[in-house]
Amino acid sequence: MQSAVPTTKTYRRVTIKKAGSHDRLQLETLPALEAGPGEVVIDVRAIGVNYADVIVRMGLYSSAKEFVGWPITPGFEVAGVVASVGAGVDDLEVGARVFAVTLFFGYASQVKVARGKVFPIPAQLSFEEAAGVPAVFLTAYYGLLELARPRAGQKLLIHSAAGGVGSSLVQLGKAVGCEVTGVVGGTHKIETVRALGADHVIDKSREKLWPAAERVAPKGFDVIADANGVATLRASYNHLRTPGKLIVYGFTTMMPKKGGRPNWLKLISGYLRTPRFDPLDMTNRSRSVLAFNLSYMFEEQWLLDEAMEKLTGWLEDGTIKPPPHKTYPLEKVADAHRDLESGTTVGKLILVP
């Protein structure tokens, strides 16, 4: 099955020609995409925004430099309808509602991806809800269920629990029967995390984090998920029980909250102060540090198939739900980046082309 007539003659995408602040996010119009063998072209209805996109714009994301270079279009996830399919793709109908993972190039009104990166949207999800699912839930799935593998009844601590990945970790932790403690940085985020099922919520703006955590888990936590970096990483490790596992998937406290450009003194200071974990100490204390970057996992088709099948099933039966979201027109992509960098947002930010 192959569509011979494109649905549009042009499409729009955000392009960054070189690293910098929000003014580097430029819209351009290009000829419509054509599906090659084994490929799917999607007319995009919604795009997920992730903190990694901010790091890409700043020129600090290693896989972006390795896989693409400059110019680059950010974006790891989209939702929309199938516009055309290439030779060998015989299991997708033109017009089908799908969401997809993209190794960059997602900030666009049309994308072209390999068939294996495209999945049907559960019927009850809108395009905006679906676009906010893949990147954050795949990150949470791989870190928590593939690497840490907690058991029912174990204690989890999740930093930034109201964010995209954090809210996904809360839900997956509850799905496997864990006692979940979510950490937030503002009172306005508490109810969101409670609604996701967290057993305990610690608001750092009103109480000291670690004394509150010790009241919840006097002997330490079985698993702690930390994307903060230097601000909490050492203390997170020290608050693991024996045995315990620390999941590391980001270093957001090294990044600026406004201005849109890296603060190099802050980056260097944060790098020098970032803990270097001693294998001897880890062995003696039976504590593990599990770290990863999801963009390097996109070619692991087994992971995508296994995780998306499980996640889609949980979405359909209500075990998990998409994170809350806020939408922006594609033209307002810079506003979305500014808001995400501020650290005040809840759930996912979605671009609508």
CB atoms within 10 A of CB 303: 16
Is there a single domain that holds both residue 129 and residue 140? no
Task: Flag whether pLDDT at 3 surpasses 80.
Answer: no
**Same domain, yes or no, for 230 and 183?**
yes
Residue 260 C-beta-side C-alpha neighbours within 13 Å: 15
8 A C-beta contact, residue 273 and residue 235: no
Residues 287 and 172 in one domain: yes
Range of the domain at 269: 135-295
pLDDT in tens, 193-220: 999 999 999 999 999 999 999 999 999 9
Domain presence at residue 289: yes
Average pLDDT of the chain, as a whole number: 94
Q: Say whether both 114 and 26 belong to one domain.
A: yes
- Cα 236 to Cα 229: distance, rounded to the nearest angstrom: 10
Q: Say if residues 144 and 225 touch (Cβ distance below 8 Å).
A: yes
In this predicted structure, what is the pLDDT of residue 254? 85
In a domain, 308, yes or no: no
pLDDT digits 0-9 by tens, 71-121? 999 999 999 999 999 999 999 999 999 999 999 999 999 999 999 999 999
Do residue 27 and residue 93 come from a single domain? Answer: yes
- Residues 106 and 229 placed together within one structural domain of the fold: no
Classify residue 128: in a domain, yes or no.
yes
Q: Which strands form 240-248's sheet, in the order they lie side by side?
A: 200-203, 179-184, 155-158, 221-226, 240-248, 287-291
Structure tokens at 327: 């939408």
**DSSP character at residue 148:** I
Total domains in the fold of the chain = 2
**55 and 129 housed in the same domain:** yes
305 in a structural domain: no
The arithmetic mean of pLDDT across residues 275-298, rounded, is: 94
**Binning pLDDT at 50, 70 and 90, where does residue 7 land?**
low
Does one domain contain both 124 and 252?
no
Residue 90 maps to which CATH number?
3.90.180.10
